[in-house]
Amino acid sequence: MEYADPVSDLLDPWGAFTTRLFRESCVFHKGNYVKDLSHLGRDLNRVIIIDNSPSVPVESWFDDTSDTELLDLLPFFERLSKVDDIYELLHRNISRIKSYIMRIKL
């Protein structure tokens, strides 16, 4: 079992997350390890990645059972699920997204 499986299971008890990518899913590209989402074979305008870098910014997670950061972001992810182009929304609203994340951490 991967370290993020318990968090993913908690966030997705219905099995809506059809694929989970972990460190082993990374490829080395231009000096960095990245997750190549093109291998998913899906319309990337409808794909989101939850990671500590460089997507929707979240803190790294290491067995802190009191951590609620991803649960706090559920309303945001629900909104994302209703748009046609996730990347356009993220790009257009990155400063507001960062402000929102900072507010929910306080």
Give per-residue pLDDT as tens, 66-99. 888 888 888 878 887 888 887 777 777 777 777 7
Long-range contacts of 10-15 (CB under 8 A, 24+ apart): 10/71, 11/70, 11/71, 11/74
Domains and CATH numbers, the chain: 5-105 (3.40.50.1000)
What are the pLDDT digits (tens) for 27-51?
A: 887 777 778 888 888 888 888 777 7
Is the link from the previous residue into 13 a cis peptide, with omega within 30 of 0?
no
